[in-house]
Amino acid sequence: MKAIIYTKYGAPEVLNLTEYEKPVPKDNEMLIKIHAASVTSGDVRLRASDFPPLFWLPARLIFGLFKPKKKILGHELAGVVEAIGKDITKFKVGDEVFGTTTMLKGGSYAEYVCLPQEWKQGVVALKPTNLNFKESAVLPIGAMTALFLLEKAKIQQGQKVLVYGASGSVGTYAVQLAAHFGASVTGVCSTSNLDMAKSIGADSVIDYTQQDYSLLDNDFDIVFDAVGKTSKSKAKKILKKDGVFISISTMTAEKDEHLLTIKDLAEKGVLKPVIDRYCALEDMVEAHRYVDSGRKKGNLVIEINK
């Protein structure tokens, strides 16, 4: 099969398109023919081994001290079940699925991957029936992260929520979810993303290149830092006394129930992925350069097995 492999940490050029052994499912696994994957900010961070100083050593111990343990990157996918092991009970051949590859041997920058039907760190489910593979592939991580953190902040109907970094993957899902939960949403992004933030549900928008959000009235219930580019001390200036600051630097966990909620909300038309660009496996180096730039709007799709 075609796959992108990397055998050392570094710049996007460490990613190489190669012929790789097609995986064979074990008894508790299914073989997925991948139709679409994504390039996430987590992927580029792993490729470059670009972790904050405090997390650098623990991350290296988990992902490979001197070189990556997992040769194939890619955390999200949508595809079709092509074969199943004898212990698979929840899925059948031909099912259209979406999910993650978290802590598995294989990644999604490939034509095939093996997934268990359930495991501790990652998730898989039937994909939303109304979305195509490309749209489904970019839902799991950004949307589950936004949902996890809004639930942690105990979001309530009628609250005022500010999403800082409303134009990234997590940010675009956070805006849509907060609006769905009945909050009044203020999105903070740069000039070229203001209209997009409004179109996905922000009631008001702030251009961070023109205005300092911390000068707003202090009547917000939640400030959600969706890009890790603001701080609790700054957010506090606009939060009510009992207001909550949440940040994507918080440790999150992938949960089956969250993926099913995301599927349901997508099918109801509540969640729609924002897609910036489509690339092929052959374009992976360029795709990583673009995500490295920090300017991605929503999500970047990798089309595979078209």
Name the minimum Å distance from CB 236 to ligand NAP. Answer: 18
Name the minimum Å distance from CB 18 to ligand NAP. Answer: 26
Residue 240 and residue 246: Cα distance in Å, rounded?
Answer: 14
Q: Which is nearer to ligand NAP, 159 or 172 (CB)?
A: 172
Name the minimum Å distance from CB 30 to ligand NAP. Answer: 25
Give contact residues for ligand NAP (rule: CB under 6 A): 40-42, 45, 141-142, 145, 165, 167-171, 189-190, 193, 208, 226-229, 248, 250, 252, 291, 294-297
Name the minimum Å distance from CB 40 to ligand NAP. Answer: 5
Name the minimum Å distance from CB 26 to ligand NAP. Answer: 28
Q: Which is nearer to ligand NAP, 71 or 296 (CB)?
A: 296
Q: Which is nearer to ligand NAP, 131 or 246 (CB)?
A: 246
Q: Which is nearer to ligand NAP, 79 or 171 (CB)?
A: 171
Residue nearest to ligand NAP (CB): 168
Among the residues of the chain, which ranges form H helices?
A: 41-48, 53-63, 133-137, 140-152, 169-180, 194-199, 232-236, 256-267, 284-292
Tokens in use for 43?
Answer: 């992927």
Name the minimum Å distance from CB 23 to ligand NAP. Answer: 26
Cβ within 8 Å of residue 151, ≥6 positions away: none
- Count CB neighbours of 43 within 10 A: 25
Q: Identity (one letter) of the amino acid at 184?
A: S
Find, among 72, 30, 48, the residue nearest to 302 by Cα: 72
Quote the strand ranges of the chain, DSSP E.
Answer: 2-5, 16-19, 29-38, 76-84, 96-100, 112-116, 124-126, 160-164, 184-189, 204-207, 220-225, 239-247, 275-280, 299-303
Q: Which is nearer to ligand NAP, 95 or 276 (CB)?
A: 276
If 0-12 CB within 10 Å is exposed, 13-18 middle and 19+ buried, where does residue 115 land? Answer: buried
Q: Which is nearer to ligand NAP, 180 or 229 (CB)?
A: 229
